[in-house]
Amino acid sequence: MAGSGVHPKQLDEIHTISDYAEPLMKFMASILPEEKVVLVGHSMGGICISGAMEKFPHKISVAVFVTAILPSFNLGLTVILEEDLLLATTLMRPARSFFDPTLSSNVVVTKERFGSVHKVYIICEKDRVLKEDFQRWMIEKNPTDEVMLIFGSDHMVMFSKPVELCSCLKYISDKYS
């Protein structure tokens, strides 16, 4: 994602969710027609992979939402954001710079495209940013093919339970690829 890791864009250059997801969209466009990927989105990355699912459903074998925002074609992203999410995401980087429902409303998902991609949700039991009840509410509003739970994991599951996360991702990749 832009402004993360080794990506050269600075946080003050990211104004919309589209700016944030631009590297993912470029990558997805470059995938050869005979190839498919396993997409993994953590936290706000769920919005980004949802946009990729909508635009490139034929290039994705499975999308994995790791304690992530899971949009619904029944409710739309704005309704989900109006729940508890806006407050929670202001605590996360780089959300404060662009996470406004009016800016992210360009991420629209449909049953025909987003809904055609296999989805797995990994619940992080001790997440204090996206609480387990909220994660389950999103799953209820947009059911996934599978739900997994990592016990004792916090929002940064890649640090709190890295072995368990890797085991889940390997299982998902083996099953859906």
Which residues are annotated as catalytic? 43, 127, 155
Question: In angstroms, what CA-CA distances link 60 with 92, 133, 174, 176?
Answer: 27, 28, 14, 10
Q: Which residue reads 């635009």 in tokens?
A: 55
Nearest CA among 43, 72, 37, 71 for reference residue 57: 37
Structure tokens at 153: 């994991």
Structure tokens at 52: 């990729």
Nearest CA among 58, 56, 82, 80 for reference residue 68: 80
Handedness of CA 156, 135, 138, 103 (dihedral sign): negative
